[in-house]
């Protein structure tokens, strides 16, 4: 790794270099907006050449994706805190999904790829093993007894993949989401979510879904 530049404070390794590039990207988005931020602005913010940034990210789309995924954990933590009082599993999942659909496009870092129109190829990143594992971990953090609903580890992983596919379809065409998405999501997510409990108990659950 080359160590010149970086305003006289070179990173210790490639991981730190990537972290600092992402942090510079965030500062530039704050200053210029996602549409006007490119490698030139990020390199100037870091005190390096564009070639140095290219060493770690092939193009601005790759850097936007990396920045978005880095910011996703903070978004998840805020959302989980907002819904921690909910106890009904269907209400929890519907609210999580609805808030993601409504808020992610407006998040300056998580949704910047969609805002800036650089979503080409994002599907493979959203469905990468790392992204799916992160979604699965997030689902486990929710106030839901997945075992009681009939989900073992493998099925929870499949559910995480389904949610990521649905989320990508929503975010890829945000202008198609008109009005409150909760009624639509509740209509179709409730029977799907409770299918596991019907398999294991033969009866199924019929929770009273709280209104928004």
pLDDT tens, position by position, 2-44: 445 798 899 999 999 999 999 999 999 899 988 889 999 999 9
Task: Specify whether 170 is located in the same domain as 83.
Answer: yes
Give yes or no: residues 143 and 160 share one domain.
Answer: yes
> Are 66 and 53 in the same domain?
no
- For residue 34, the 8-state DSSP code is G
126 and 115 together in one domain:
yes
Question: Quick one: 142 and 161 in the same domain?
Answer: yes
Residue 8, domain CATH = 1.10.10.60
pLDDT band for position 119 (cuts 50, 70, 90)? low
Q: What is the mean pLDDT of residues 40-60?
A: 95
Could you tell me the residue range of the domain that residue 19 belongs to?
Answer: 1-57
Same domain, 90 and 167: yes
pTM flag (> 0.85): no
Averaged pLDDT score across all residues of the chain: 83
| Shared-domain flag, residues 77 and 40 | no
Do 128 and 147 share a structural domain?
yes
């Amino acid at each position: 790794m080359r160590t010149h530049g970086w305003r006289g404070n070179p990173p210790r390794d490639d991981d730190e270099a990537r972290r600092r590039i992402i942090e510079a990207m965030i500062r530039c988005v704050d200053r210029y907006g996602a549409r006007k931020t490119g490698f030139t602005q990020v390199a100037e913010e870091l005190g390096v050449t564009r070639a140095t940034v290219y060493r770690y990210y092939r193009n601005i789309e790759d850097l936007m994706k990396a920045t978005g995924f880095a910011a996703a954990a903070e978004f998840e933590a805020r959302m989980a805190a907002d819904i921690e009082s909910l106890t009904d599993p269907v209400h929890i999942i519907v609210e999580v999904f609805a808030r993601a659909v409504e808020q992610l496009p407006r998040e300056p870092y998580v949704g910047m790829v969609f805002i800036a129109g650089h979503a080409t190829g994002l599907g493979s990143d959203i469905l990468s093993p790392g992204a799916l594992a992160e979604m699965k971990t997030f689902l486990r953090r929710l106030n839901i007894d997945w075992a009681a609903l009939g989900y073992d580890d493998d099925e929870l992983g499949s559910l995480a993949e389904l949610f990521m596919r649905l989320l990508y379809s929503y975010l890829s065409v945000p202008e198609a989401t008109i009005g409150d998405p909760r009624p639509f999501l509740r209509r179709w997510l409730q029977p799907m979510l409770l299918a596991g409990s019907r398999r294991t108990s033969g009866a199924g659950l019929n929770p009273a879904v709280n209104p928004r």
